[in-house]
């Protein structure tokens, strides 16, 4: 009995003589484990399920705007990645799609009308001005966006622009390139005003996560922070100041609100004239918030102290933009990169997947339409 037990373990029975008398080895030690039958995965039963169990068709129209990392979903699907989609390619690429992922490619009423199978537009962004929300509602298509993925990235970029312009960094870089410091009779060269942030006032338009994060940075530098109410608002909410009060009080004005019919061109000639002399404008929101022609005039001929612009009215500016050719020392233009730190884009990918997974499971999140 004992010898048989040792043989089942692959050991010679004589081995037990080294240890004296051994009790029989319990059967549970040497018995081969029984293989448990596999439980088949339940069929996909989310709100995207096809009647015949076909995989969900997902199309990403501008995947080149995000890191080259795969998006993985826990349900049967196909995924078509298009690094870039031109306007005249959108209709063809949407054909047959159940879900479309878009960062900035426009989805218009005609696209919804031509694709009755479409169930979800998953934005790879917070802003949604590239999607016709009214048409989406009529078509019964859900639209979700990505929230709170890049508050630090955008706020840090805005603060970088703010600090660079208050210290006139571009002007000093130009002076050095022109040899003005080298020709100075002194150890230093003063060519443009240098202003501290401590004691200055920052007016923020948009009290979301980005606006609040920027406010925290500004307060750490000793700035007073005002949150401005909507333009033409009937009442001023607690914790805000009116739009018209914020403008003349601001040393720096920073825009972090979505582009809507109410906010389009919210900063124009009249608003720029209302700012105190030397004030700085920062726009990391949407290009359409600012009248670019009026802004350029204020920089050239008015008293605006500087402008830091990360967004333009037309992107990419294939047909040019007057701000790009202005060549002014108190104007900084960056190519819509405030949102795009490595950390922010990684988090965006995670939220896109989470949004689509939640919708597929019948628990939509971050829905805007």
Dump strand ranges (E) for 42-119. 56-60, 77-81, 99-102
Mean pLDDT within 235-254: 97
pLDDT greater than 70 at residue 344: yes
SS3 197: coil
CA distances from residue 324 to 26, 157, 242, 321 in whole angstroms, order as listed: 83, 19, 32, 5
Q: Bigger pLDDT: 353 or 48?
A: 353
pLDDT of residue 54: 86
pLDDT tens, 56-100?
999 999 999 887 778 999 999 999 999 999 999 999 999 999 999
User: For residue 48, what pLDDT band results from cuts at 50, 70 and 90?
Assistant: low
Mean pLDDT within 241-251: 97
pLDDT tens, 132-148?
999 999 999 999 999 98
Q: Which sign does the torsion angle of CA 318, 319, 323, 326 carry? A: positive
Asked if the domains 56-149+345-360 and 151-339 are classified in one and the same CATH topology, the answer is: yes
Its CATH architecture, for the domain 56-149+345-360, is: 3-Layer(aba) Sandwich (3.40)
CA distance 3 to 229: 88
What is the fold of 151-339? Rossmann fold (3.40.50)
pLDDT tens, 201-213?
999 999 999 999 9
pLDDT tens, 89-146?
999 999 999 999 999 999 999 999 999 999 999 999 998 999 999 999 999 999 999 9
Q: Where are the domains of the chain?
A: 1-31, 56-149+345-360, 151-339
pLDDT of residue 66: 87
Q: What percent of the chain has pLDDT over 70?
A: 86
Mean pLDDT within 335-357: 95
**Can you say how many angstroms the Cα of residue 22 is from the centroid of all Cα atoms in its chain?**
69
Contact call for residues 123 and 146 (beta carbons, < 8 A): yes
pLDDT greater than 60 at residue 34: no
pLDDT greater than 60 at residue 369: yes
User: For residue 28, what pLDDT band results from cuts at 50, 70 and 90?
Assistant: very low
pLDDT of residue 51: 56
Mean pLDDT within 183-199: 96
pLDDT greater than 70 at residue 279: yes
Mean pLDDT within 230-256: 96
* 352 token code pair: 């896109």
Nearest to 256 by CA among 223, 290, 293: 290
Average pLDDT, the chain: 88
Active-site amino acid positions: 286, 315, 336
Contact call for residues 365 and 83 (beta carbons, < 8 A): no
pLDDT of residue 351: 96
CA distance 57 to 80: 8
CA distance 308 to 41: 53
SS3 200: coil
Q: Which sign does the torsion angle of CA 357, 361, 363, 367 carry? A: positive
CA distance 228 to 205: 5
- H-type helices in 167-242, by residue range? 169-177, 209-220
Q: Bigger pLDDT: 98 or 31?
A: 98
User: For residue 21, what pLDDT band results from cuts at 50, 70 and 90?
Assistant: very low
pLDDT tens, 224-239?
999 999 999 999 999 9
Q: Which sign does the torsion angle of CA 135, 315, 160, 260 carry? A: negative
Q: Bigger pLDDT: 220 or 9?
A: 220
Q: Which residue bears the tokens 């939509």?
A: 364
* 62 token code pair: 């501008």
Classify burial at 167, counting beta carbons within 10 Å of its beta carbon; exposed 0-12, middle 13-18, buried 19 or more: middle
- Point out which residues pair with 203 in neighbouring strands: 226, 253
Classify burial at 249, counting beta carbons within 10 Å of its beta carbon; exposed 0-12, middle 13-18, buried 19 or more: middle
């Amino acid at each position: 009995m004992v010898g048989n037990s040792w043989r089942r373990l692959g050991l010679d029975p004589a081995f037990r003589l080294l240890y004296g008398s051994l009790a029989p080895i319990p059967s549970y030690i040497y018995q081969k484990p029984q293989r448990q039958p596999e439980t088949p995965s339940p069929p996909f039963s989310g709100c995207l399920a096809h009647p015949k169990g076909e995989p969900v068709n997902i199309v990403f129209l501008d995947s080149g705007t995000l890191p080259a990392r795969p998006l993985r979903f826990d349900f049967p699907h196909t995924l078509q990645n298009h690094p870039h989609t031109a306007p005249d390619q959108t209709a063809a690429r949407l054909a047959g799609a159940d879900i479309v992922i878009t960062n900035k490619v426009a989805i218009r009423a005609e696209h919804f009308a031509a694709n009755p199978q479409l169930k979800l537009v998953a934005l790879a962004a917070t802003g949604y001005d590239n999607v016709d929300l009214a048409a989406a509602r009529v078509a019964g298509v859900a639209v979700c966006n990505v929230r709170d993925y890049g508050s630090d990235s955008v706020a840090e970029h805005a603060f970088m622009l703010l600090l660079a312009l208050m210290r006139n960094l571009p002007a000093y870089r130009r002076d050095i390139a022109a040899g003005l410091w080298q020709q100075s009779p002194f150890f230093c060269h003063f060519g443009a005003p240098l202003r501290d942030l401590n004691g200055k006032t920052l007016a923020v338009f948009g009290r979301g996560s980005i606006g609040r994060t920027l406010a925290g940075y500004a307060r750490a530098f000793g700035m007073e922070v005002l949150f401005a109410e909507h333009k033409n608002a009937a009442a001023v909410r607690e914790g805000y100041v009116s739009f018209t009060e914020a403008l003349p009080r601001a040393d720096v004005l920073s825009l972090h609100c979505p582009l809507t019919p109410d906010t389009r061109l919210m900063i124009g000639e009249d608003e720029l004239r209302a700012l105190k002399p030397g004030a700085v404008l920062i726009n990391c929101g949407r290009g359409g918030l600012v009248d670019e022609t009026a802004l350029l005039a204020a920089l050239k001929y008015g008293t605006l102290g500087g402008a830091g612009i990360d967004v333009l009215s037309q992107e990419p500016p294939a047909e040019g933009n007057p701000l790009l050719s202005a060549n002014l020392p108190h104007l900084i233009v960056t190519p819509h990169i405030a949102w795009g730190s490595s950390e922010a884009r990684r988090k965006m990918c995670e939220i896109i997947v989470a949004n689509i997974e939640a919708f597929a499971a019948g628990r939509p999140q971050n829905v805007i339409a």
